[in-house]
Amino acid sequence: EAQVTQNPRYLITVTGKKLTVTCSQNMNHEYMSWYRQDPGLGLRQIYYSMNVEVTDKGDVPEGYKVSRKEKRNFPLILESPSPNQTSLYFCASRPGGVLLRGYTFGSGTRLTVV
């Protein structure tokens, strides 16, 4: 089944403790992206990747890191999480150059930083 897999689904952590949210897709998509969803703000892009080893900042990159060492994986790293990073996070992917097909999204990670 074609899908984007995110883990974990829920995560509670303490301020300053490094964490990684994993994302993997099995569709050979070139483009991957991370979004955070907050009430009243919709989804906002954190980072994106056009292909392996090519990443760039989105609209709200502060406090996050990403890497794209393999085409299928695009982990989101929070080096020192803070309470304002409490949010619902989505990983998404799409094939290169086919914008009409839209994105395939993971099932989301609910992160709480206390």
Partner 1 sequence: AQTVTQSQPEMSVQEAETVTLSCTYDTSESDYYLFWYKQPPSRQMILVIRQEAYKQQNATENRFSVNFQKAAKSFSLKISDSQLGDAAMYFCAYTTNAGGTSYGKLTFGQGTILTVHP
Between 9 and 18, whose beta carbon lies closer to partner 1? 9
Question: Which of 53, 100, 99 is closest to 73 using CA atoms?
Answer: 53
> Which one-letter DSSP state was computed for residue 73?
B
> Rg for the chain (alpha carbons), in Å?
13
Residues in touch with partner 1 (CB under 8 A): 31, 33, 35, 40-45, 48, 56, 58, 88, 90, 92, 94, 99-100, 102-103, 105, 107-108, 110
Between 65 and 110, whose beta carbon lies closer to partner 1? 110
* Residue 16 CB, nearest approach to partner 1 (Å): 27
Looking up tokens 């999204």 gives 105
* Residue 54 CB, nearest approach to partner 1 (Å): 13
Query: What Å distances lie between residue 26 and 1, 4, 54, 82, 96, CA to CA?
Result: 8, 7, 19, 32, 14
Between 29 and 78, whose beta carbon lies closer to partner 1? 29
> Would you report the helix, strand and coil content of the chain in percent, each value rounded to 5?
5, 50, 45
* Residue 80 CB, nearest approach to partner 1 (Å): 26
Between 10 and 114, whose beta carbon lies closer to partner 1? 10
* Residue 28 CB, nearest approach to partner 1 (Å): 16
